[in-house]
Amino acid sequence: MSPAAGRLKFDLPAHLEAGSPAEARGTTRDAVRMMVAYRGDQRLVHSTFALIATFLEPDDLLVINTSATLPAALAGVDAGSGRAVVVHLSTLLDGDSWVVEPRVPSGGASRRWPADAGPPPARILLGEDGASLELEGPYRGSDRLWVGRLRLPRPTRSWLAVHGAPIRYGYVERPFPLSAYQNVYATEPGSAEMPSAGRPFTPDLLTRLVAKGVGITPLVLHTGVASLEADELPYPERVRVPPSTARRVNAARRHGGRVVAVGTTTVRALETAFDPVAGRVGAFDGWTDLVVTPDRGVAVVDGLLTGWHEPEASHLLMLEAIAGRSLLETSYAASLAGGYLWHEFGDVHLILP
């Protein structure tokens, strides 16, 4: 299926783009709005995320992605012309080789590299300590992603902590610290962009869910850049589903509990780890190129907590596979009419059977 096949058609008004975190808007992470959509009877319930426990049952299992966000946006200059360039690190391939997205500075953020500007520079200088990036060629035939080799004077993570910043798109009103782009349960740095469906969780809310009997179990999927201007399917990402998580997912399915994925990244990881012959999830450590579409469907996931996705986002194919076309259309129409906020700092959508 092509990226645009069957895509929902709607316009996203600029005033619905969340330009700052909930905390900067004078509230708390878990006070964002939440629409609950039930596939069985096509019912919609408008609520807030702080009340998510009322929509979950004991023996339900939440699966979370504990990947932490990297300061993956780098300011640089073309080694030849001195022209300013922004680089978004996306996916670590091996050693110092990365998938990267060169971009053009635009205000305090950046925009996609113009098609009429020719290829990005082969060598980009990063800071004044001798750091640089050498582009080796397009990644998998992409016209925006490249394979690049980082040349840094010290280990990558320590260098990024000083010189990198969170990836910021034009709708975000000002720079925010990396902590604003981290889920409270994030443990393993590796994502270019925050797996943002989990952002509204707080330690107190997680405690209340566990006290109710709702299970919580982790996996890791390191997300790459998902440029909002691009109409394309996801490319391979690094996944690890621990044996303990596989066991808990299989147990929940056997005993009638609902498996609810926190974020589209978690769906991709779980469905990758599913063995159709054995009929169960197994431990997995490797790369996934799986694209979940309505034609493929889902084998593991019963529900999904997610944000609101742009009309060009490939995530909508996955949402349709879980919710069904009718409920997805109804939910998005109600979201637009009701003024729900979009993007990583916005409101959320809980899809249940």
Question: Which pLDDT tens digit goes with each residue over 97-153?
Answer: 999 999 999 988 899 999 888 899 999 999 888 999 999 999 998 889 999 999 999
What gap in Å lies between CA 242 and CA 246, rounded to an integer?
Answer: 6
pLDDT at residue 233, rounded to an integer:
74
Secondary element (H or E) of residue 77: strand 73-78
> 113 near 102, Cβ under 8 Å?
yes
pLDDT at residue 117, rounded to an integer:
85
Alpha carbon 137 to its chain's center: 25
Residues in Cβ contact with 256 at an 8 Å cutoff, skipping those fewer than 6 apart: 59
pLDDT at residue 230, rounded to an integer:
53
92 token code pair: 């670590």
β-strand pairing of 146-151 with 84-94: unpaired
β-strand pairing of 33-38 with 44-48: antiparallel
> 178 near 166, Cβ under 8 Å?
yes
18 token code pair: 């969340």
Which residues is 222 bridged to in the sheet? 238
Phi, psi of 68 (to 5 degrees): -100, 155
**pLDDT tens digits, one per residue of 217-262:** 999 999 999 755 556 778 899 999 999 999 999 999 999 999 999 9
- Residue linked to tokens 């469906």: 197
Residues in Cβ contact with 10 at an 8 Å cutoff, skipping those fewer than 6 apart: 311, 332, 333, 336
pLDDT along the chain (353 residues), means of 10: 56 94 97 98 98 97 98 96 96 95 91 90 92 96 94 95 95 96 98 97 98 98 77 85 98 96 97 97 97 95 95 84 96 97 97 98
